[in-house]
Amino acid sequence: MINPKCLLLALVLVASTQAQTSVDISKINVEVSKKITAQEADASYRALNSNLEEIMNGWNAKRLPSCKEGERSTSCYYGRYFPLSNISRHWSACSQGIPSFAWMPPAETRGGIESLNTWKLRAARGEVFDCRGPDCKVIVHAISASPQETVLAECDIAKIANTYGAPARCMPVALITKERTWVSVIYGIDEVHCRIGTPRLNLLVVYPVNLGPAPLHNALLRAFTDAPLSYSVESSDSKIIGTASYRVSPVLSPYREMVTARIDSRHEGSGNPGYLGLRISIDLYVNRYNTTNPHDWHQPDNQQEDAYEAALKDRIKSSMQHACRKFFWKGSSILLCELPENTPVPDLLGFYVEQP
Amino acid sequence: MTIESARKWLVLGSLIVTGTHFIFFLIAPAVGYPIEYEHSIRLLQISTPVFLGYLGAASRFVFQRHKATDQVVISNPLLGTLIRGPFIVFGLASIAALCAFGYSNRLNAPPGVGMSVDTLATAVTTALGLLAVTTNVAVSALFGGEDRNKEAGGSQND
């Protein structure tokens, strides 16, 4: 016979444990844009081995120098060394070049086994690393093509106080099956040219130099901190990052959201008028249920993504307008702040915000 | 409980459960209950086939040509409990599971404590298993009587 007091105590304990359960980043299971399967990894390994000579001849034909380990310069090749990919070192600004990736068994790569063990540990603990201000890295489990395959991915993640944003720009770094394990490697870095274009969410504010960018920056901050967005915010002169985790989305309710919204800004105030270019990006995961189950968290569909972007842009535009006593919109992306409506705006299609 | 009323119970119970499940799982996502249509239909797919099977057996029993169907005699006093009980338990378990699911996934619930769709599906399946394990026997005895009567010589007594 179960003692009713014991049963009650057990129920209270279970309830209190549930109430104290905090959000665990290790439970996130992300979608990666480029999925990898064991067959593809194997094919990549074989192709690299069989074409190694040709690849190296290609690098040599381009007269590219050999990369030193950990080097960040452009246009070099690693030859036979195949250091492990380490996105935090190589996958950043485009001026540093685009690495060429392949898949290899960890034992055949330099430091592969040690790195793999570290990744596994980080994924299990859900700990962030390589933090530069609010910008951190995290190793998470990625949705694999088959239940027999485990994929680890390295993602960017924003951490502000104890609030995490959504993992973003995830790249698979390891693929583990019962039989074999693969890790992502870099075998060269190609020089690339930054694309100059208009990102999907781009705003340009034209303002008289005597106004200065500070009121506009404050308006951007208010757009993020005030309702309805109410993000946790971290900002510097050139960027504002807002995050929210596991809350009911103010835009996509009743869906819950895990989001990082980021505004990168570039200010040119040397002439009159001054220009403030803003690039707004969003990394968003949604869940219809109040669960931490990785499979319930997914990327928004196109309609949700459009709705979120529109809401964010409206909020930012509205907030920017309030920073100006008088304003005019030229199209939907250029705001003339305290300037006459006929203020000429030069061809600014090439205006873009450089990646920090 | 008479044989006739047991049959009525099974038919009515199956109709009510099937009907309420259809109505609930089709309407709930549209009126704000925290479930997506994709999952709602999945739960409907789990719960309804059992009851549709019972209704199919009852229909065949009613419309087939037979003479000896009413020769089934079951006089055990547990008959009523075994017919009604599983339906009542299934109904209560379904209501409890759906209430818990809805409550734990409400908008102002603490983050991360919601019941998952998989857990809800497990609860419905378990309740359905309890119902099926007892009711399947009753349905085969009450609605599949002709064949068994032929085999057993025309009647069956408990």
Q: Return the structure tokens found at A115.
A: 């790195």
Please write the tens of the pLDDT for every residue from A8-32.
444 433 443 333 333 466 666 676 6
Whether residue B56 has pLDDT greater than 70: yes
Of residues A33 and A275, the one with the higher pLDDT is A275
Q: Do B116 and A291 touch (CB under 8 A)?
A: yes
Whether residue B135 has pLDDT greater than 80: yes
- If you measure CA to CA, which chain B residue comes closest to A16? B113
What's the number of CA atoms in the CB half-sphere (13 Å) around residue A323?
Answer: 26
Of residues A93 and A55, the one with the higher pLDDT is A55
| C-alpha radius of gyration, chain B, whole number | 19
Q: Is the Cβ of A163 closer than 8 Å to some Cβ of chain B?
A: no
Size (chain A), residues: 356
Average pLDDT of the residues in B67-73: 56
Please write the tens of the pLDDT for every residue from A310-330.
899 899 999 988 888 889 888
β-sheet bridge partners, residue B98:
none
- If you measure CA to CA, which chain A residue comes closest to B116? A291
Angle among Cα B153, B156, B158 to the nearest 5 degrees reads 155
Q: What is the pLDDT of residue B109?
A: 92
Rounded distance, CA B68 to CA B77, Å? 23
Nearest to B111 among A246, A253, A288 (CB): A246
Of residues A177 and A99, the one with the higher pLDDT is A177
Q: What is the pLDDT of residue A194?
A: 40
Q: What is the pLDDT of residue A165?
A: 82
Q: Is the Cβ of A50 closer than 8 Å to some Cβ of chain B?
A: no
Of residues A308 and A156, the one with the higher pLDDT is A308
Whether residue A97 has pLDDT greater than 60: no
Q: Do A254 and B117 touch (CB under 8 A)?
A: no
User: A134 — phi, psi (to 5°)?
Assistant: -80, -10
Q: Do B105 and A21 touch (CB under 8 A)?
A: no
Rounded distance, CA A20 to CA A14, Å? 10
Q: How far is A132 from chain B (nearest CA, A)?
A: 28
Q: Return the structure tokens found at A153.
A: 């991915």
Whether residue B26 has pLDDT greater than 50: yes
Q: What is the pLDDT of residue B115?
A: 94
DSSP assignment of B77-142 equals TTHHHHHHHHHHHHHHHHHHHHHHHHHHTSTTSPTT-PPPHHHHHHHHHHHHHHHHHHHHHHHHHH
- Most confident range (mean pLDDT) of A152-161, B56-65, B89-98 is B89-98
User: A30 — phi, psi (to 5°)?
Assistant: -95, 160
Please write the tens of the pLDDT for every residue from A267-293.
777 777 888 888 888 888 999 999 887
Candidate from A82-91, A147-156, A172-181, B67-76 with smallest mean pLDDT: A82-91
Of residues A351 and B35, the one with the higher pLDDT is B35
Residues A305 and A166 sit within 8 Å (Cβ to Cβ): no
Average pLDDT of the residues in A56-75: 57
Q: How confident is the model at residue A256 (pLDDT cuts 50, 70, 90)?
A: very high
ipTM of the complex: 0.75
Could you give the maximum distance between any two Cα atoms of chain B, in Å? 64
Q: How confident is the model at residue A33 (pLDDT cuts 50, 70, 90)?
A: low
Q: What is the pLDDT of residue B75?
A: 66
Whether residue A233 has pLDDT greater than 70: yes
Q: What is the pLDDT of residue A149?
A: 86
Rounded distance, CA A268 to CA A209, Å? 10
Q: Do A21 and B112 touch (CB under 8 A)?
A: yes
- If you measure CA to CA, which chain B residue comes closest to A256? B107
pTM over cut 0.80: no
| Inter-chain CB pairs, A–B, below 8 Å | 47
Whether residue B83 has pLDDT greater than 50: yes
**Which residues from B are below 8 Å from A when comparing CB atoms?**
32, 34-36, 104-118
Q: How far is A145 from chain B (nearest CA, A)?
A: 20
Of residues B52 and A145, the one with the higher pLDDT is B52
